[in-house]
Amino acid sequence: MSKRPDGTTKYGDRSVGKTLFKYLRRHTVLVVLSVVLAFASSLSALFVPILFGNAIDSILTDMGAVAANLIKVGIVIAVTALMQWLMAMVNNKVTFEVTRDIRNDVYVKIQKLPLKYLDINPTGSIVSRMVADVDTLADGLLMGFTQAFTGIVTIVGTIYYMWSLSRFTAIVVVCVTPLSLFVANFIAKHTHDMFVEQSVVRGEQTALIDEMIGNEKVVKSFGYESKALERFNEINDRLAGCSLKALFYSSTVNPSTRFVNSTVYALVALVGAFRVLGGYITVGNLSALLTYATQYTKPFNEISGVVTELQNAFACASRVFALIDEEEETASDIFTEYASLHNTEADRMTGTESVTDRRGESDTVRGDVDLDGVCFSYDKNKPLIEDFSISVKKGQTVAIVGPTGCGKTTLINLLMRFYDVDGGRIYIDGEDISTRTRQDHRRRFGMVLQDTWIRSGTVLDNIRIGRPDATREECIAAAKEAHAHSFIRRLPEGYDTVLAEDGGDLSAGQKQLLCITRVMLALPPILILDEATSNIDTRTEIRIQKAFHKMMEGRTSFIVAHRLSTIMDADVIVVMKDGHIVEQGDHETLLSKGGFYSELFSAQFAH
């Protein structure tokens, strides 16, 4: 394996084949049954020309034998059709079981990937791998199972029967065969990279569509429609170009092999006619040989089509398996049960994974948080946070303020272990957070962000995300504390109203109130509020702030805020600039210093 220019892992056909074989081994019984049915159906189909040949040779001498042979032909065809139907059922079962396993592995893998991977790879491209590329792989597998096994058995079987009827004719056929294989192999090698390029460009297109549709309001607000269309047309033109190129070259396989196969048929007819005239074989034998010549060449035509599909499938599979083989978070961080997995990106947006109710655990988590010499940067060549140290005691409210890009949200990402520190240590109650799994670590936190995430489901389902066992009454009580009860009650079905993905018709403020309700319900020992009331009107914000104060009593809290009026009561205000703490203290102390915080405060409240 190697890296492409876009950073994805490049698989060779051999690597893809090995990986596919591992998935097929999970369904060994079905695969073996498919091979047996392919073998049996092909051999029974090959027996038909012999029976027809016998019938032809008996026409002038014994009509009873003709009838008997035709009855046998009917029975053999019926049995062959039944076995082919069973084989098709088995092949479909194997194909969709394998693709289901691959999709499951991709989905599980996404949960184990570091957020850095999800940040630098477009969502649409990942979705394209999981959906479109796996679908293409399924098509290639299905065609491979359906035609590859039967084709191989047919080729071997026809050579055997032709050898038994006329060895000289069989030798002629075998000698011409390598030419067909050479042509198919030559074209297949040159089309593989073309299909890889097609798959990559298709991923770009899916990513752009996802980006534009997901941000359609912004697109329309800034009149970006024409520019978006230009970008789409450019990618669409590239996709059309590489697709046509790949299909053109791959489509030359079939006519090339058909030419060779027609040559084989003509040679069999010519050689067979001379053998009949010489008395070496009968007319019925010649009829069987010509039928076998057709059956012998047919798999080559089919396999050439299979090769084209498999090249496309392998190109898509290489992208899928490259995703599955991406470097994961450390082994101790991997969730042990599939049922416990949650979407990591959604967790970053909502903090719902971390707010699982742990009232028993809350009693044991004091909430002392210490950052000792923490260093971190997204780009190793551009340091962001350097030698950052702070000590927060249980129950303290810490506000983090500073200009955009100073590292406020990055600090929250480090506390939640969405990213790991490059240097230094973070401790909770004296314990290094890296010694715990991410799942256990995040259970101790409740998080509300400016960006909200609402899943498709009822209002109750969304409130219970952090605490699935909560009763309806507890959810309603939490909603009342978060001042969400009034708008929920006005929904068509109240708490049973089914919300569409991302909240549907709910306003930004209503969605944020639902996210706050989740935290109110879970009551974790440590709280993180990152612009948690940015989408809420001033009147409601004042009421929610009171609810927050009540919830934060006895709990360590981190508040990221741009509006300094919301954090004036914080125990400690940490002022950040360029990844460093430049000031630290309560509101009055910092104002009296007349430093950077005072400048920020004056800028916001200047008249």
- Signed CA dihedral, 21, 23, 29, 32: sign only: negative
Lowest mean pLDDT among 32-41, 291-300, 357-366: 357-366
pLDDT tens-digit profile of 537-584? Answer: 777 677 777 777 777 778 888 888 777 777 788 888 888 887 777 888
Range 2-26+92-328 has CATH code 1.20.1560.10: yes
Quote the pLDDT of residue 336.
39
| Most confident option among 27-36, 161-170, 343-352 | 27-36
pLDDT tens-digit profile of 292-303? Answer: 777 777 776 666
Higher pLDDT, 524 or 311: 524
Quote the pLDDT of residue 303.
65
Quote the pLDDT of residue 360.
36
Residue 437, phi-psi category: left (phi > 0), alpha (psi -120 to 50), beta (remainder): beta
CB atoms within 10 A of CB 266: 11
Higher pLDDT, 336 or 474: 474
Quote the pLDDT of residue 519.
84
Provide mean pLDDT across the span 158-182: 76
Q: In which band, very low, low, confident or very high, does the pLDDT at 525 lie, cut at 50, 70 and 90? A: confident
Distance set, CA 120 to CA 105, 144, 376, 379 (Å): 21, 35, 17, 12
Are 87 and 38 within 8 A, CB to CB? yes
The single-letter DSSP state of residue 333 is G
Domain ranges, ordered by start, for the chain: 2-26+92-328, 338-450+511-605
Provide mean pLDDT across the span 531-536: 68
Quote the pLDDT of residue 342.
39
Are 440 and 521 within 8 A, CB to CB? no
| Most confident option among 13-17, 133-137, 547-551 | 133-137
b/e 96-129 (16+ beta carbons within 10 angstroms → b): eebbeebbeebeebbbbbbbebbeebbebbbbbb
Q: In which band, very low, low, confident or very high, does the pLDDT at 352 lie, cut at 50, 70 and 90? A: very low
Q: In 428-569, which residue ranges form alpha helices assigned H by DSSP?
A: 438-442, 459-463, 472-481, 485-489, 508-522, 538-552
**CA–CA separation, 455 and 507 (whole Å):** 15
Q: In which band, very low, low, confident or very high, does the pLDDT at 86 lie, cut at 50, 70 and 90? A: very high
* CA angle at 89 for the pair 83 and 92, rounded to the nearest 5°: 135
pLDDT tens-digit profile of 396-415? Answer: 888 888 887 777 888 888 88
Q: Which residues contact 426 (CB under 8 A, 6 or more apart)?
A: 369, 370, 371, 372, 374, 414, 415, 432, 433, 434
**CA–CA separation, 160 and 154 (whole Å):** 10
Provide mean pLDDT across the span 196-203: 80
pTM summary value: 0.60
pLDDT tens-digit profile of 225-268? Answer: 888 888 888 888 888 888 888 777 777 766 776 777 777 778 77
- Signed CA dihedral, 337, 339, 341, 347: sign only: negative
pLDDT tens-digit profile of 410-466? Answer: 888 888 888 888 889 999 988 888 888 887 888 888 888 777 778 888 889 888 887
Question: Dihedral through CA 404, CA 409, CA 414, CA 416, nearest 10?
Answer: 180
> Would you call 356 helix, strand, or coil by DSSP?
coil
The single-letter DSSP state of residue 133 is I
**CA–CA separation, 509 and 454 (whole Å):** 12
Are 98 and 24 within 8 A, CB to CB? yes
Lowest mean pLDDT among 104-118, 217-231, 339-353, 494-508: 339-353
Quote the pLDDT of residue 362.
41
| Most confident option among 206-220, 351-365, 571-585 | 571-585
**CA–CA separation, 325 and 32 (whole Å):** 28
Are 530 and 450 within 8 A, CB to CB? yes
Which long-range contacts link 504-511 to residues 24+ away (Cβ below 8 Å)? 504/454, 506/454, 507/535, 508/452, 508/535, 509/535, 509/536, 509/537, 509/540, 510/484, 511/452, 511/454, 511/535
Quote the pLDDT of residue 411.
84
CA neighbours closer than 13 Å in the CB half-sphere of residue 223:
0
Which of 411, 380, 393 has its CA nearest to residue 577?
A: 411
Quote the pLDDT of residue 354.
36
Length of the chain in terms of residues written: 607
DSSP track, 69-125: HHHHHHHHHHHHHHHHHHHHHHHHHHHHHHHHHHHHHHHHHHHHS-HHHHHHS-HHH
Tell me the two tokens of residue 425. 């240590």
pLDDT exceeds cutoff 60 at 8:
no
Cα distance between the two ends of the chain? 63
pLDDT exceeds cutoff 60 at 340:
no
Rg (CA), the chain: 34
CATH topology of domain 338-450+511-605: Rossmann fold (3.40.50)
Q: In which band, very low, low, confident or very high, does the pLDDT at 329 lie, cut at 50, 70 and 90? A: low
Which of 299, 186, 312 has its CA nearest to residue 247?
A: 312
Are 341 and 165 within 8 A, CB to CB? no
Q: Pairing mode, if any, of strands 498-499 and 556-560?
A: unpaired
Q: In which band, very low, low, confident or very high, does the pLDDT at 82 lie, cut at 50, 70 and 90? A: very high
The single-letter DSSP state of residue 472 is H
| Average pLDDT, rounded, for the chain | 78
Which of 406, 393, 397, 376 has its CA nearest to residue 582?
A: 406
Provide mean pLDDT across the span 517-531: 84
